[in-house]
Amino acid sequence: MIGSSILRAVEEKKLASEVSVFDKSNRVNDYLKKNFSVSVCSNISDTVKNSDLTIIASPLSSYKEILLSIKSDLKKNSILTDTGSAKKEINKIINNFNLKNIHWIASHPIAGTEYSGPEAGISNLFNNRWCILSADEQGNKDKISVLEKFWSTLGSKTKFMSFEDHDYVLSLTSHLPHAVAYSIVKTAINNEDKFKNDVIQYSAGGLRDFTRIAASDPLMWKDIFIDNSDNILKVLDNYSKNLDEIKSAIKNKASRNFFIN
Amino acid sequence: MIGSSILRAVEEKKLASEVSVFDKSNRVNDYLKKNFSVSVCSNISDTVKNSDLTIIASPLSSYKEILLSIKSDLKKNSILTDTGSAKKEINKIINNFNLKNIHWIASHPIAGTEYSGPEAGISNLFNNRWCILSADEQGNKDKISVLEKFWSTLGSKTKFMSFEDHDYVLSLTSHLPHAVAYSIVKTAINNEDKFKNDVIQYSAGGLRDFTRIAASDPLMWKDIFIDNSDNILKVLDNYSKNLDEIKSAIKNKASRNFFIN
């Protein structure tokens, strides 16, 4: 979904003289051939060898395999980026590859919907959204500017952040909300049969917002939760404490207003 | 907000030959006088004594005082309803008043926004939304039909439910989501100063949906949490168990996909 949104935006804005894509799914490849003027490569090396900018837009757990397949073919002096939601662990992995003359600069476009797959892409998905870039301190400033320019041409506001800060901030603004949404939807649907339909029917009172969040791609989220586990477990603990406070207040039918602090 | 939305809809659809309102806030009364063709009463008894339909649209904790002020003046054979989000406790309170020749039928329009106050009312707020009605078994069927007609004229789909079932279903679809939203927003804002702005800036990744839910009127929610505490504590316990399962899965970096079950 993210990859095809980039593709749509790049085509619409005519940002590249040539675009090559690789996907391991035949279904996706057929869709791309039918709907875009791009080279759909059957060999992943062919996708990267002439590319000034390589974008990995796949679940975090697939990066290692992808890197193994492309590391010797990446174009010299080109930019390698991604679209992942957790950064510290993948940065370690990529550093371990010790890529020479390749500028690895991470991207995290904070944009998306609950839908997955290339059909769900939207050309203006990144418009007016933040995109966070991260690189090591020795990162090439000119190449970072080029990548910033790329995202801002897609309509995004860009911000540079360290890998560590990115992962902590996102654990609060995105990963915790998703963990919570999964739990609440699970609580609501694991229910006495008598009320199953009622729970779905009357979800406009709040639950519906959570079902939308919880509907996001589970494989992608599993990877994020594992890669950013330290931060997520830390904020989940703080969250549980806040929840316990509300529970006690409800138990004590506390007269003080426990929701304004 | 709910009261003024009803008022707007009733005026727009010309549903009443006369409408009387009472609010204890002068600011609200001034607003109502300026914006609506209604009798704004300075005495609450005057509001109800000629009314075929009396609607209480105020926090649950105010019902007792309101009932004490109107119980002797309610018009014989009229309908008394409300718009509250929890039912069992207020039904007990109203039954204790032992009102004679008054048809108490509870209403819960499942509609709202995060905004409060009469200025935030919207005439089509109830359009295409559910409204749950509840009454004791001896409830007058004709009067229930009249009230159903009222809400369906405002665009709502109506459903009859016992007081108990209503409170359980809503604890899952609305009250649990609100408790969770409050906790998560509290977790996100009680943070190191360094990240305060970042957390607000990058909230599009999930947090923003929760801040909207958590922004609802805190007094109204405090009352709901206290009135429906048994159900809410029960579903909060189930929820905590589901959250603990996710925590363990993250801790163990479980290879099974813990989000699909």
Which of B87, B171, B173, B182 to substitute to test the interface with A, most A CBs within 10 Å? B173
Over residues B135-141, the mean pLDDT reads: 92
Establish if B224 touches chain A: CB-CB under 8 angstroms. no
Rounded to the nearest angstrom, the minimum Cα separation between B164 and chain A is 12
Q: Residue B112: its pLDDT value, please?
A: 86
Residue of A nearest to B184 (CA): A239
Residues B144 and B177 in one domain: no
Whether residue B20 is contained in a domain is answered as yes
Same domain assignment for residues B36 and B115 = yes
Instruction: Give the residue-averaged pLDDT of B129-153.
Output: 96
In angstroms, the separation between the Cα of residue A150 and the nearest Cα of chain B is 20
Instruction: Please give, rounded to a whole number of angstroms, the shortest distance from the CA of B187 to a CA of chain A.
Output: 5
Which of A141, A161, A181 is the endpoint of a domain?
Answer: A161
B218 in contact with chain A, both atoms CB, cutoff 8 A: yes
Separation in Å, CA B244 to CA A126, B74, B237: 34, 51, 11
Q: What is the DSSP string of B55-81?
A: EE-S-GGGHHHHHHHHTTTSPTT-EEE
Q: Show residues of chain A in contact with B248, CB under 8 Å.
A: none
Average pLDDT over residues A205-211: 81
CB contact under 8 A, B130 and A201: yes
A1 — pLDDT class (breaks 50, 70, 90):
very high
- Per-residue pLDDT at B258: 52
Average pLDDT of chain A, as a whole number: 92
pLDDT higher than threshold 50 for residue B169: yes
Look at B239 and A183 and tell me if their CB atoms are within 8 Å.
yes
Q: Determine the pLDDT at residue B209.
A: 80
Position A191 pLDDT exceeds 80: no
Amino acid, res. A200 = I
Please indicate whether residue B240 or residue A195 has the higher confidence score (pLDDT).
B240
Closest chain A residue to B160 measured between Cα atoms? A198
Residue A188 and residue A172 in one domain = yes
Please give the pLDDT value at position B254: 62
A101-140 residues touching B, CB cutoff 8 A:
110-111, 129-130, 132
Per the model's pLDDT, the better-predicted residue between B40 and A201 turns out to be B40
Write the burial class of residue A34 (CB in 10 Å: 0-12 exposed, 13-18 middle, 19+ buried): exposed
State the total domains in chain A.
2
Task: Please indicate whether, in this complex, the C-beta atoms of A206 and B181 are within 8 angstroms of each other.
Answer: yes
Cα–Cα distances (Å) from A115 to A23, A216, A217, A220, B160, in that order, read 18, 6, 7, 12, 35
Q: What is the rounded average pLDDT of the residues A86-93? A: 96
In a domain, B223, yes or no: yes
Q: Is the pLDDT of residue A252 over 80?
A: yes
Q: What is the ipTM of this complex?
A: 0.80
Selecting from A182, A183, A242 the residue whose C-beta is nearest the C-beta of B187 gives A242
More confident residue, B83 or B258: B83
Residues of B in contact with A169 (CB under 8 A): 195, 198-199, 202
Judged against a pLDDT cut of 70, whether residue B257 lies above it is answered with no
Q: How far does B175 lie from chain A, in Å, by closest CA?
A: 8
- The pLDDT of residue A217 is 83
Q: Do B199 and A243 touch (CB under 8 A)?
A: no
Quick check: A128 and A157 in contact, CB under 8 A?
yes
CA B56-B58-B60 angle, 5° bins? 100
Query: Chain centroid to CA A152: how far?
Result: 18
CATH number of the structural domain spanning residue A229: 1.10.3660.10
User: What is the per-residue pLDDT across A95-126, written as a single tens digit (0 to 9) for each?
Assistant: 999 999 999 999 999 998 888 999 999 999 99
Residue B26: inside a domain, yes or no? yes
Kindly give, in sequence order, each residue whose CB lies less than 8 Å from that of residue B124, ignoring residues fewer than 6 positions away.
Answer: B9, B155
Please indicate, yes or no, whether residues A155 and A223 belong to a single structural domain of this protein. Answer: no
Q: The domain containing residue A9 runs over which residues?
A: 2-161
- Which residue, B128, B161, B194, sits at the end of a domain? B161
Q: Is residue A176 part of a domain?
A: yes
Do residues A144 and A192 share a domain? no
Instruction: Supply the pLDDT for residue A258.
Output: 52
A260, B218: Cβ pair inside 8 Å? yes
Select the residue from A219, A250, A252, A253 to test the B interface by mutation, using most B Cβ atoms within 10 A. A250
Instruction: Decide if B136 is inside a domain.
Output: yes
Which residues in chain B (232-251) have CB-CB distances under 8 A to chain A?
232-233, 235-236, 238-240, 242-243, 246-247, 249-251
Radius of gyration, alpha carbons of chain A: 21
CA distance A117 to A173: 24
Q: Considering the domain boundaries, does residue A151 fall inside one?
A: yes
What proportion of chain B, given as a percentage, has pLDDT over 70?
97
Distance of CA A200 to the CA centre of its chain: 28
Please check whether residues A10 and A115 belong to one and the same domain.
Answer: yes
Separation between Cα atoms, residue B244 and residue B252, nearest integer Å: 12
Q: What is the pTM of this model?
A: 0.84
Residue A63 lies in a domain: yes
Mean pLDDT of the region B156-171: 96
User: Which contiguous run of DSSP H or E holds residue A80?
Assistant: strand A79-82
> Are A19 and A101 found together in one domain?
yes
**Which residues partner with A158 through β-bridges?**
A131
Q: Would you state the pLDDT for residue B232? A: 94
pLDDT per residue as tens digits for the range B186-234: 888 887 777 888 888 888 778 888 887 788 888 888 899 999 999 999 9
Q: Average of pLDDT values for B85-102?
A: 96
Mean pLDDT rounded to a whole number for chain B = 92
Report DSSP state, residue A75.
Answer: P
Round to whole Å and give the CA distance between B146 and B77.
Answer: 12
Is pLDDT of B82 > 80?
yes
Sign of CA dihedral A197, B241, A206, B92: positive
Closest CA to A192 of B172, B160, B139, B219: B172
Q: Which of A15-19, A90-94, B252-256 has the lowest mean pLDDT?
A: B252-256
pLDDT given for residue A33 in this prediction: 96
Q: Given an 8 Å threshold on Cβ–Cβ distance, is A191 in contact with B182? A: no
Question: A192 and A215 share a domain?
Answer: yes
Which of B114, B142, B161 is at the close of a domain?
B161
User: Above 70 in pLDDT, residue A256?
Assistant: no
Residue A59: which residues within 8 A CB-CB, separation 6 or more?
A: A217, A219, A220, A223
Per-residue pLDDT, B15: 95
Q: What is the mean pLDDT of residues A204-231?
A: 86
Q: Decide if pLDDT at B261 tops 50.
A: no
Taking the Cβ of residue B31 and every Cβ of chain A, the question of whether any pair is shorter than 8 Å is answered with no
User: What is the number of alpha carbons within 13 Å of residue B23 lying toward its C-beta?
Assistant: 20
Question: Residues of B with CB below 8 A from A170's CB?
Answer: 202, 205
Q: Do the Cβ atoms of B204 and A110 come within 8 Å?
A: yes
Q: Residues A170, A185: one domain?
A: yes
Residue from B87, B172, B192, B228 to probe the interface with A (highest A Cβ count within 10 Å):
B172
Run of H or E including A88: helix A88-97
- Pick from B238, B240, B133, B228: nearest CA to B174: B228
C-alpha B189/C-alpha B200 separation (Å) is: 8
pLDDT grade, residue A261 (50/70/90)? very low
Q: Is residue B258 part of a domain?
A: no
Higher-confidence position of A217 and B46: B46
Question: Is the pLDDT confidence value at A84 over 80?
Answer: yes
Q: Do B204 and A242 touch (CB under 8 A)?
A: no
Which among A128, A118, A109, A83 has a CA at the least distance from the CA of A5?
Answer: A118
**What pLDDT was estimated at residue A187?**
87
